[in-house]
Homo-oligomer: A and B are copies of this chain.
């Protein structure tokens, strides 16, 4: 029997969370005649992007949400896309909005994201939500970061106050929001990036190591302090023996030998992130209708 680490499986947590979402959706319908609704906007006809959005749509429906899918051709102008988004912003029957695209003309999707009403930005990418999180105020938080820290908190006693967390990777969508969540948990937080010197030495200080680089298998045994909690937010497609596989940033088989806890990829953060997204839609619906909410973040 190999490995000292306890593996933090995402499926049980995701299942519980989706069950709660399902119940909340039913209750909102019964008690308030609300039909929790997620609108998905996709621009362009990239096959991967379409598959991704179809998958999110299917998962939302499994969770009991109503969905609306808008597929816009690749030659739709930005102004036209924003008109669609704006219509959804003003539609009280729509509670959450996702925008997905894969077009060279968007180096990043900033302009489209900023067009989404912050109160419907269930991805948590809007500047206002980044600012709210930065100020430790109730915000929608990007789901991978939220899922990673949530999984962490299922295994550490109460809150990880005073723990040293090292986040490897400083992207706006995963590393930075994860660091903000950990700061709000009152951890000591280090953010490392591609320019970090002695990365292994920095990482070995971590009681909590969060990998958010999307560089397959870059975190090795030498990066991990014995007993640390290792949370893998990475996701890359690699071909192993002619077979396409999804792998994380962490070399699971070797790192599990030293870590105290470790999330696998797939089956760790991924399923919880999807469940978090659905929970964000429920939270959005509650907030828009000024109903009680339990969750502080998303």
Contacts and interface: CB of A to CB of B under 8 A. Distances in A.
A168 to B, nearest CB: 10
Interface string A130-166: 1111111100000000000000000000000110100
A197 B162 contact: yes
Interface stretch (A184-192, A244-252, A265-273): A184-192
A272 to B, nearest CB: 23
Interface in A216-270: none
A64 to B, nearest CB: 31
Chain A, interface residues (CB within 8 Å), range: 20 to 34
A100 interface: no
A283 B210 CA distance: 38
Contact of A129 (B110, B126, B131, B196): B131
Contacts of A193: 183, 186, 188
Contact of A172 (B110, B135, B186, B188): B135
Contact of A164 (B137, B162, B176, B197): B197
Given A127-B137, A131-B131, A189 B186 contact: no
Nearest to A190: B190
Interface of A: 110, 126-137, 161-162, 164, 170, 172, 176, 180, 183, 186-193, 195-197, 202
24 contacts: A110-B137, A126-B131, A127-B128, A127-B131, A127-B135, A130-B130, A130-B134, A130-B135, A131-B131, A131-B132, A134-B176, A134-B180, A162-B195, A164-B196, A164-B202, A170-B183, A176-B183, A187-B195, A188-B190, A188-B193, A188-B196, A189-B191, A190-B190, A190-B191
